Amino acid sequence: MVPAALAQTLFGALQPAGASTLTIYSSLDLSAAEPLIDAFQRDNPGVAVNYHELQTVDIYERVLNESDGDGATADLVISSAMDLQMKLANDGYARRVPLAHGSVWPSWANWRDTAIALTYEPAVMVYHKPSFEAADVPRTRAALISFLDAEQDAFYGRIATYDIERAGVGFLFLARDAEHNRDIWDLVRAMGRSGVKLYSNSSSILERVSDGRFAIGYNILGSYASAWAARNPDLGIVLPTDYTIIMSRIALVPVSAQAPDLAGRFLDFMMSRQGQDIMAAEAKLPALHPQLTGANTADGLRAEAGDKLRPIAVSPALLVYLDQVRRARFIDRWNDTLSQR
C-alpha cells in the first residue's frame, strides 16, 4: 500500500490549458521548499508543482512500488536519507540527468549525474547556555566523555541524542562516528552512565535543550539546530573541533518520471547560484555550491571549521548502512554499550 503524503500542495494550480506539472516527493518541510518553488515558477510561469512531503522511508518505498507497478512515479525525489537515495540510484531506479552546473559541483557530491547532493549540513552538539555559566562547553568527543564522567551527578538525565533504531540520520551519524573515531563507544558508554535520553527526531531534543530540561544534545542535524537557535537565545551550537560530519540531501530523477526534462530543469535551478542562495537565505539549509560564500554555505562552514569537516560522499559505499546483518550487529553493540556502567 502506498503511504499517504504528510502534506500535498499544488503550486500554481490555475494554469493555462496545456501547462506542465512537475511532481516532487520530498522529505524537506513544505515551508522550506516553498521559496524555492516560488522562485522556480517565477522563471517558469507555465509550470505547476505538485509537492508531496513524505517521510524518507515512505519516499523510498513509494518510488520503488510505483516504478515496479504501473511505471509512473514522481518526476523528482529529494531526501535526507542518503543511503536509501543511493540504493534507488544504484539499483537502476534513477536516470542520468544533463546538468548545466555539473562542472562546478564537487566530485564527492555527484554520483554519475544520477544522485546529486544539494546541501552541506553538519552534525553538531547543542547545549543550554545557562547550564554552562560555571563550566566549559565540551567541544570534542573526548572532552564530552570527561565532562559527563566528572559531572554525572549534576547532569544526570540531561543529555540526549537520536535513537539510532528509529532515526535514520542518527544511525548514519553514529556509523560515521565509528569510522572516524575508534573511541566512539567510550562516548556511548559515558552517555549511558549519564542517563542519556533517546528521541527519533530533532525537534524533541532541541525543545528540551532550549528550555533547560536537557543540557546537551549530541549529533544533532545542524540545519534544524540553527533554526531553533534563531528563535531561542539560550540554545548554543558547537561544531565539534575534533571532526564534524557533514550530511547532504540527495536529489534524483526516477527512471519512471513522467516529466524528466522538467525535473532536470528544477534540479538545475536548485544547483544554480540563485537556487542555492535561496536555499541558504530562505530555506535555511546550508548551501553546497562551491562559489557561494558567507553564512549558511559550505564555504562559510569551512572558514569556521577548516579541515575538520567530514562530508559523506554520494557513492555506493552508503549501501553498507542498509546491510541488515551489519545494521543489526551495530544496533546490538549500541544497546549493549549504553547499558554498561
Q: Which three cell numbers stand for residue 7?
A: 502534506
pLDDT at 2: 41
pLDDT at 341: 74
pLDDT at 1: 39
Burial of 216 (0-12, 13-18, 19+ CB in 10 A): buried
CA-nearest of 246, 223, 247 to 302 is 246
Each residue's pLDDT tens digit, 278-298: 999 999 999 999 999 998 999
Residue 44, CA distances (Å) to 22, 28, 87, 254 in order: 11, 21, 31, 22
CA-nearest of 127, 124, 108 to 116 is 108
Strand ranges in 87-234 using DSSP code E only, listed in sequence order: 110-111, 115-117, 121-128, 159-162, 197-199, 216-221
- Give kind and range of the element (H or E) at residue 310: strand 309-311
Kind of pairing, strands 250-252 and 115-117?
Answer: antiparallel
Q: Which residues of the chain have pLDDT under 70?
A: 1-7, 12-18
pLDDT at 18: 61
Instruction: Decide: helix, strand or coil at residue 341.
Output: coil
Its pTM stands at: 0.91
Look at the chain and count its residues: 341
Could you write out the DSSP letters of every residue in 229-256? Answer: HHH-TTEEEE--SS-EEEE--EEE-BTT
